[in-house]
Amino acid sequence: MIIVNLDVMMARRKMSLNELSERVGITIANLSILKTGKAKAVRFSTLDAICCALDCTPGDILEYREE
């Protein structure tokens, strides 16, 4: 199971969904889908932009846990 810790990183950086959306260039709706773990996939370019905006690594956002 892949866990998305986007909300954790946003809280650490004190960044709102609106601000991240503007910095990354994707809609709030799409970010929300990713944040809630409902996304089926994420493009590397999107992940790269999120990591750049939040000054983190993909491992800070995505986590694997055995079910």
Number of domains in the chain: 1
pTM of the model: 0.91
Residue range of the domain that includes 12: 2-64
Q: Strand ranges (DSSP E) for the chain? A: 2-4, 62-64
| One pLDDT digit (tens) per residue for the chain, 67 residues | 899 999 999 999 999 999 999 999 999 999 999 999 899 999 999 999 999 999 999 999 999 999 8
Task: Give the CATH number, domain containing residue 14.
Answer: 1.10.260.40
What number of CA atoms fall less than 13 Å from residue 17's CA on the CB side?
Answer: 12
What pLDDT is stored for residue 40 in this prediction? 92
What pLDDT is stored for residue 21 in this prediction? 96
First to last CA, the chain: 6
What number of CA atoms fall less than 13 Å from residue 27's CA on the CB side?
Answer: 3
